[in-house]
Amino acid sequence: METINSVRGFRDILFPETEKWRRVEETAHEVFRTFGFREIRVPMLEKTELFRRGIGESTDIVEKEMYTFTDRGEESLTLRPEATASVIRAYLEHSLHAVESVTKLYTIGPMFRRERPQKGRYRQFHQIDTEILGPDDPRIDAELILMLAHFLGKLGLKNISLEINSLGCPDCRPAFQKAIVSFLQGREKELCSDCQRRLATNPLRVFDCKVENCAKIIAEAPMLPDFLCEDCRKHFASLQESLSLFALPFRLNPKMVRGLDYYTRTTFEITTEFLGAQNAVVGGGRYDHLVLDLGGPDIPGIGFAIGFERLVAMLPENEETSPPLLFIAAVGEEALKKAFFICNRLRMKGLQIEMDHSGRSLKSQMKRADKLKSRYALIIGEREIAENKASLRNMQTGLQQEAILDTLEETIINLER
């Protein structure tokens, strides 16, 4: 009978990579709490209408990539392709906006999109997602970006680049859309089929195209910053001023539009050359009308999403886990019973202890202790049980001493101090 492999685009995350994942998660919890964020956990399955309204009908995600099905109750459901819409849905459903005027939330978990798997991109992928709901002050935008840069810095990431842009607002964006359509008029056949469709549904999305010929044409197109209204100009200038206070380097990228329809004003990406063409590891921006579009009050928001797989791929490969404090090598049935008791008593006191249950020779057990890089080894046999003592060996120096079994727990605990 043939073995069953994982679904294409879905993968297992194995040790030692899981240690990197754990470190990223722990750092996120630490940094985000410092900046006043609270964790929220939302379902992986939502009503399809949430993403159609939240992300936008004309996006590639909704049109091509969602895992959508009809359940037994004839309701259309979708595995979440991104987290923001789900967080906003929970924010409204539980009336969090009525509790406080500023709400800072973050969530960590899997997302699902059926696209071509490639390095750092899978059909089940994971994101760290943060949202600030309430204020529309550009200093809030800067605060979120500063927190992001601080988080990446704590993980030791280098050679990253921050790019920012303003996508304007409903007052100034229509004039830009009209200018883009006018610029591309008569050149539609030179564009890819996706861009031809985007031109009719959402002209801004042509800037997001990765097809080489489309990119060449768009390179000469009008730029959105030239069409910003006065309020949007002031907002964007204030953002840049706030970032400059902390000497955080950034580059203006007037072509950056992001892939979701709900963004307004501030948008940003952090990129790296490490991942090749798919070089964005973090993307985010302001969405001042999304809460209203999803049936809530007119509350502005801003957030970002970090691609977990891409982030982990950038971390050093030589990261090691902490070795056990003690390996217990037991020879004989009575010694195994004693070792089993000692091992788990010490584990319940918070110490990392290992032992062998297979009854192998002392030489084989000591080889395993050495392979695990255990700091100490405790050797127990039938004679040691009878004499109420064991041999405690320092695996780094080779020095060995006697340890009384009756006071062994205290002896081992003191090794950690």
Least confident interval from 171-180, 226-235, 378-387: 171-180
Distance (Å, rounded) from C-alpha 115 to C-alpha 22?
A: 26
Angle of helix 408-415 relative to helix 333-347, nearest 10 degrees, comes to 50
Q: H helices of 202-351, where?
A: 212-218, 230-244, 290-293, 308-313, 333-347
pLDDT at 416 over 80: no
Distances in Å between the alpha carbon of 148 and those of 63, 263, 269? 30, 18, 11
203-238 pLDDT, tens digit each: 777 777 778 888 787 778 888 888 899 999 999 999
Distance (Å, rounded) from C-alpha 187 to C-alpha 183?
A: 8
Distance (Å, rounded) from C-alpha 209 to C-alpha 60?
A: 11
Residue-averaged pLDDT of the chain: 87
Angle of helix 230-244 relative to helix 138-154, nearest 10 degrees, comes to 40
Decide if 100 contacts 132 (C-beta within 8 A): no
Model-level pTM greater than 0.85? no
Domains of the chain and CATH, by start: 17-172+228-313 (3.30.930.10), 326-415 (3.40.50.800)
Q: Which residue, among 132, 124, 165, has the nearest Cα to 148 in the 3D structure?
A: 132
Classify burial at 397, counting beta carbons within 10 Å of its beta carbon; exposed 0-12, middle 13-18, buried 19 or more: exposed
Classify burial at 26, counting beta carbons within 10 Å of its beta carbon; exposed 0-12, middle 13-18, buried 19 or more: exposed
Distance (Å, rounded) from C-alpha 324 to C-alpha 370?
A: 11
231-272 pLDDT, tens digit each: 999 999 999 999 999 888 999 988 887 656 678 899 999 887
Look up residue 297 and give its amino acid: P
Q: Check residue 243 and give its pLDDT.
A: 93
Confidence of residue 415 (pLDDT cuts 50, 70, 90): confident
Q: Check residue 273 and give its pLDDT.
A: 61
pLDDT at 320 over 70: no
Q: Check residue 76 and give its pLDDT.
A: 94
Q: How many CB atoms lie within 10 A of CB 276?
A: 10
